[in-house]
Chains A and B, each alone.
Chain A
């Protein structure tokens, strides 16, 4: 029982990261209909920036906001200068550009900081608290930071005029223009926010998976799975989906262990988590593309 709770707890902590990535993916998808394949490596690059600031002696809680702002600007710049001119380009061209961005950020990180694995210190202090048996301090930190981030975003979109304008621009760009909203800049802002969220996610997960240019590849896949389960067009769904994937993958691995202990037969375990995520992606895409909470748009002929 202890182990089960521990697995669920760890699943929630990982799920927090997947939720952030899923949210960033959904934000870009909802406003531009594009899937940001470069999301993972953008986040990784941001994590490296934080690490660099830490190397220069800056306090973590100063470095993180600075990098969040830098990432925001990078996101806006990418949308504004690289993607906007391709507005009407065929899907393949856009996918190719995303892959190009993916490789550029990956290799830039490698070129600047090398490909060796680095340890990344956790910013969350060790302290005693109820439930410490199940959650490590960094895991609590991941979950709490994610919750705070999500609440801030929710408040932004729900209660501020700019957030409302962004939502309107994503849903119905033509009508938004008629209301005077500068839709193009809303798209750029959406990208900036997605990059900022990714920066937080990458920084939070780095202490767990160790800092190296490849660190976000699998996490991105879990992010996709989470976004799809929750509904690629629903931000709230994406967040829920991220947590679900986190807990689910740990549960599956846990029950795989149980089965192995009982029967001596190894069916599934830790080494199959990516395959499970792949299965989720393909299953959702083929059976229920709208996910649990999303909406499928009807294509008019």
Chain B
């Protein structure tokens, strides 16, 4: 059974329609990337999956329809969302950021284990536990954002432009860790990225969006190596 199925998805910001007919699905286990130009609807798609924008159509997570559900409820189904701009709780400490992310979980022992896992991936965070999260650097905040999603013990993690505004070396580091998380913690990922080259290096499968519709789909390795596709859809 696919982990995530999206059929005929439309999305609206007030009166403006942003998504017209998005169709794709994700099998459990891999990393899928959504590519496209600015304004193509990539972020909107992630937001629609999480119930953050008004949407119509079918979205199914693990077979369960989730269109129209509130964000808080979707997240409790173990869908982690690393939002655009990181979404850091700037006035809380790093530790409090992590603790609040585990708010919905009952099994304290499992939470403690996941916290250790987070520190294993991002030892930097352990060093900065007491620090106010707003004072962290961009890269550190991105690590914190990914960690917050991890604290939900997610089956699926949505990542919205994790490379945004970060130095290339930091981005490489983060992407490396994302690959480890995917492989070791068995977290499937749906990655939205402007930086297509980076995303195609990491992902297994790719979808390309254009003005609210999926216009291309294929294995990442194929898309990466097909110059024609790259030139016409991704601009490089």
Contact present between A and B (CB < 8 A): yes
Are B99 and A161 in contact, CB atoms less than 8 angstroms apart? Answer: yes
Inter-chain contacts of A172 with B (CB < 8 A): 87-90
B56-76 CB mask vs A (1 if < 8 Å, else 0) is 000000000000001110011
Inter-chain contacts of A182 with B (CB < 8 A): 72
B67-101 CB mask vs A (1 if < 8 Å, else 0) is 00011100110001101000111111000100111
Q: Which 5 A-B pairs have the closest CB atoms?
A: A180-B104, A175-B87, A177-B71, A168-B100, A180-B75
B42 within 8 A of A: no
A165 to B152, CA, bound (A): 15
Query: Per a CB cutoff under 8 Å, which of A164, A177, A178 touches B96?
Result: A164
Are B92 and A179 in contact, CB atoms less than 8 angstroms apart? Answer: no
A159-189 CB mask vs B (1 if < 8 Å, else 0) is 0010011011001101111111111000000
Given contacts A165-B103, A171-B92, contact A179 B152 (CB under 8 A): yes
A178 to B81, CA, bound (A): 7
B148 within 8 A of A: yes
Inter-chain contacts of B81 with A (CB < 8 A): 178
A23 to B62, CA, bound (A): 45
Residues of B154-195 whose CB lies within 8 A of A: none
Q: B-side interface residues toward A, CB under 8 Å?
A: 50, 52, 70-72, 75-76, 80-81, 83, 87-92, 96, 99-101, 103-104, 148-149, 152
A181 to B105, CA, bound (A): 11
A168 to B104, CA, bound (A): 14
Query: Per a CB cutoff under 8 Å, which of B71, B75, B92, B152 touches A168?
Result: B92
Q: How far is the CB of B216 from chain A (nearest CB, A)?
A: 29
Of all chain B residues, the one with the shortest Cβ separation from A169 is B100
Inter-chain contacts of A177 with B (CB < 8 A): 52, 70-72, 75
Provide a sorted-by-A list of 19 A–B residue pairs whose CB atoms are within 8 angstroms: A161-B100, A164-B96, A165-B100, A167-B91, A167-B92, A167-B96, A171-B92, A172-B87, A174-B87, A177-B71, A177-B75, A178-B80, A178-B148, A179-B103, A179-B148, A180-B103, A181-B72, A182-B72, A183-B72
Inter-chain contacts of B96 with A (CB < 8 A): 164, 167-168
Residue from B72, B75, B100, B148 having most chain A Cβ neighbours under 10 A: B100
Residue from A161, A167, A178, A183 having most chain B Cβ neighbours under 10 A: A178
